Amino acid sequence: QVQLVESGGGLVQAGGSLTLSCAVSGRTFSIYTMGWFRQAPGKEREFVAAIRKFGISTHYADSVKGRFTISGDNGKNTVYLQMNSLKPEDTAVYYCAAQRGQDYSGGYDYWGQGTQVTVSS
């Protein structure tokens, strides 16, 4: 089993920045791809960003490209999502996810509990 715990959410003004963290524990050796998703009230959960093991490659949703950066620290078993130039439409619960496969936007086996990000205008 793999456990994921997100942190770093909060309230920020439009144009501001936040960094989310996802601590990974358990059978971490089995994980190949880590991702971030978000779900706004009344909307479906959507893909935000993903990174493959050792940072081999990353992938972003068009809506966050150029503003968000996903990165990982293998020594700390932690994945980060640096969010800059935040917009009110970025407001959502952000979830960390992990999988053994290579898909970016689907096929995730494990999920965190989520952390709230609220961007005020």
Rounded to whole angstroms, the Cα distance separating 38 from 4 reads 15
In which residue are the tokens 């096929």 written?
Answer: 107
pLDDT of amino acid 33: 95
In which residue are the tokens 């893909």 written?
Answer: 47
Contact 58, 80 (CB under 8 A): no
Helices (H) and strands (E) in the chain, counts: 0, 11
Give the mean pLDDT of the chain. 95
Rounded to whole angstroms, the Cα distance separating 60 from 51 reads 9
> Is residue 74 very low, low, confident or very high in pLDDT (cuts 50, 70, 90)?
confident
Rounded to whole angstroms, the Cα distance separating 118 from 33 reads 26
- Nearest CA to 118 among 45, 40, 51? 40
**Residue length, the chain?**
121
pLDDT of amino acid 25: 93
Q: Please give the DSSP secondary-structure letter assigned to residue 55.
A: G
List pLDDT tens digits, range 32-49.
999 999 999 999 999 999
